[in-house]
């Protein structure tokens, strides 16, 4: 049984990777329905938590069914990260996750996320300080290194473990790769096979099927996997991956009616959670996933991503539903 601290998370946990404007509570709860073992929030800015900003508080809201759940925080100031961990702990998650891997320029330019891969001593000091500031388990998510000349993850992972991190998730790309190219799991395997590593090592990058998940599990021996972009608008990937890992079953893709049912559920939950404006905007990235592989969807996608209200979205969904019946 894999554990994050004392929290049992399954024999081989399949984890929803944290993604900004994606892994909010409505989407997380749906992924849990389809079998995600561990859920992690969108990343929350430490400075926003300290200021008690409304958006930061909202990101930390979750339903009881979402457990085990981690709140991911990021920042560049060690003292602020300690205070943020305390504030996040007050929201009642199961663990705190430290974002040492986000490659987005606006985060990196402020010294957060993957920027800490350029200052390993500061990363380690931050990890240790946060561990001491909370009674909750603390995990970390990072990348292979800043660029191809600085692939230091095997050493970094061991030193994070020494600082008190109780599980590590590694994206198989450098910061300079962003999300381009192919994820390299070789060094993730190197971390897992380091005899001095005793904490769980989770791999992330390009997992988009049960077969790919099993290949990474068997080849690199990781303790679990994270699924990120392949889950966007595609929450059933968790049930597909787990079925394949369990006994090699390849589940059929969901019917159009099932896709519509889940999309409507997602839309309703999001409207309650964040209101009309944000829902209409943020749902746009979901539609291609929800209807991937469905013949004739392209014209509907254009309508959906240009829709200006939830009523208009529902009207377009009804068109898709009627088209499927003919």
pLDDT of residue 254: 94
Dist CA 139 CA 72 (whole Å): 9
- Per-residue pLDDT of 238-258, as tens digits, reads 999 999 999 999 999 999 999
**Catalytic choice (36, 102, 187, 262):** 102
**DSSP assignment letter at 6:** T
Tokens of 107: 């985060």
DSSP 8-state assignment for residue 45? E
Confidence class for position 285, pLDDT limits 50, 70, 90:
very high
Distance CA 109, CA 122 (A): 16
Question: What would the mean pLDDT of 277-290 be, rounded to a whole number?
Answer: 94
Q: What is the per-residue pLDDT across 214-237, written as a single tens digit (0 to 9) for each?
A: 999 999 999 999 999 999 999 999
- Beta bridge partners, 16, equal 39, 227
- The 8-class DSSP code of residue 22 comes to T
**pLDDT tens, position by position, 56-113:** 889 999 999 999 999 999 999 999 999 999 999 999 999 999 999 999 999 999 999 9
What is the structure's pLDDT at 293? 87
| Residue in 227, 253, 229, 257 with CA at minimum distance from that of residue 240 | 253
- Of 209, 191, 208, the C-alpha closest to 200 is 191
Please give the Cα distance from 142 to 188 (Å, whole number).
Answer: 11
Q: How confident is the model at residue 200 (pLDDT cuts 50, 70, 90)?
A: very high
| Average pLDDT for 104-126 | 95
Residue 156 has what pLDDT? 97
Confidence grade of residue 52 (pLDDT, cut at 50, 70, 90): confident
Residue 143 half-sphere exposure toward CB, CA atoms < 13 A: 24
Query: Is the pLDDT score of 138 beyond 80?
Result: yes
H helix runs in the chain, sequence order:
25-33, 46-50, 54-59, 78-90, 105-108, 120-133, 153-162, 186-192, 210-220, 237-247, 256-282, 287-290, 298-306, 310-325
The string of DSSP codes covering 129-197 is: HHHHH-SS-EEEEEES-SSTT---HHHHHHHHHHTT---EEEESS-TTTTT-S----HHHHHHHT-TT-
pLDDT tier at 323, thresholds 50, 70, 90: confident
Place of tokens 């990120």: 228
For residue range 142-198, list pLDDT tens digits in order.
999 999 999 999 999 999 999 999 999 999 999 999 898 899 999 999 999 999 999
Domains in the chain, start-ordered, CATH in brackets? 3-247 (3.20.20.70), 256-325 (1.10.1200.80)
* Cβ neighbourhood burial of 264 (10 Å; 0-12, 13-18, 19+): middle
* pLDDT at residue 325 is higher than 90: no
Checking if the pLDDT of 284 tops 80, the result is yes
Q: Average model confidence (pLDDT) for the chain?
A: 95
Section 268-286 average pLDDT: 95
Q: d(Cα 187, Cα 204) in Å, to the nearest integer? A: 12
Q: Could you tell me the two tokens for 224? A: 């679990």
- The pLDDT tens digits of the residues spanning 81-96 come to 999 999 999 999 999 9
Torsion, Cα 132 133 135 138, to 10 degrees, reads -70
Residue 137 has pLDDT above 80, yes or no: yes
Residue 166 annotated as catalytic:
no
């Amino acid at each position: 049984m894999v554990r994050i601290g004392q929290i049992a998370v399954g024999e081989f946990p399949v984890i929803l990777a944290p993604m900004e404007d994606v892994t909010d509570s409505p989407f997380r709860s749906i992924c849990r329905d389809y079998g995600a073992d561990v859920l992690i929030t969108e990343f929350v800015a430490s400075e926003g938590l300290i200021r008690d900003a409304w958006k930061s508080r909202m990101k930390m809201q979750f339903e009881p069914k979402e457990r085990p759940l981690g709140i991911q925080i990021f920042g560049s100031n060690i003292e602020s990260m300690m205070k943020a961990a305390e504030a996040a702990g007050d929201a009642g998650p199961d663990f705190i996750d430290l974002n040492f891997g986000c490659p987005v320029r606006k985060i990196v330019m402020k010294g957060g996320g993957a920027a800490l891969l350029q200052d390993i001593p500061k990363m380690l000091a931050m990890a240790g300080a946060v561990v001491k500031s909370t009674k909750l388990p603390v995990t970390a998510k990072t990348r292979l290194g800043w660029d191809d000349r600085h692939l230091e993850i095997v050493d970094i992972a061991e030193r994070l473990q020494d600082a008190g991190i109780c599980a590590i998730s590694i994206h198989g790309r450098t910061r300079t790769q962003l999300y381009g190219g192919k994820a390299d799991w070789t060094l993730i395997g190197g971390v897992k096979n380091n005899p001095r590593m005793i904490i769980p090592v989770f791999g992330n990058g390009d997992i988009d099927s049960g077969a790919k998940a099993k290949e990474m599990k068997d080849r690199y021996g990781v303790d679990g996997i994270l699924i990120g972009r392949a889950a966007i608008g595609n929450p059933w990937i968790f049930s597909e991956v787990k079925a394949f890992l369990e006994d090699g079953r390849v589940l059929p893709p969901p019917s159009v009616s099932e896709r519509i049912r889940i999309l409507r559920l997602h839309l309703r939950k999001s409207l309650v959670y964040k209101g009309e404006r944000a829902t209409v905007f943020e749902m746009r990235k979901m539609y291609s996933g929800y209807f991937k592989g469905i013949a004739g969807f392209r014209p509907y996608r254009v309508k959906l991503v240009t829709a200006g209200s939830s009523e208009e979205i529902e009207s377009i969904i009804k068109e898709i539903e009627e088209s499927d019946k003919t």
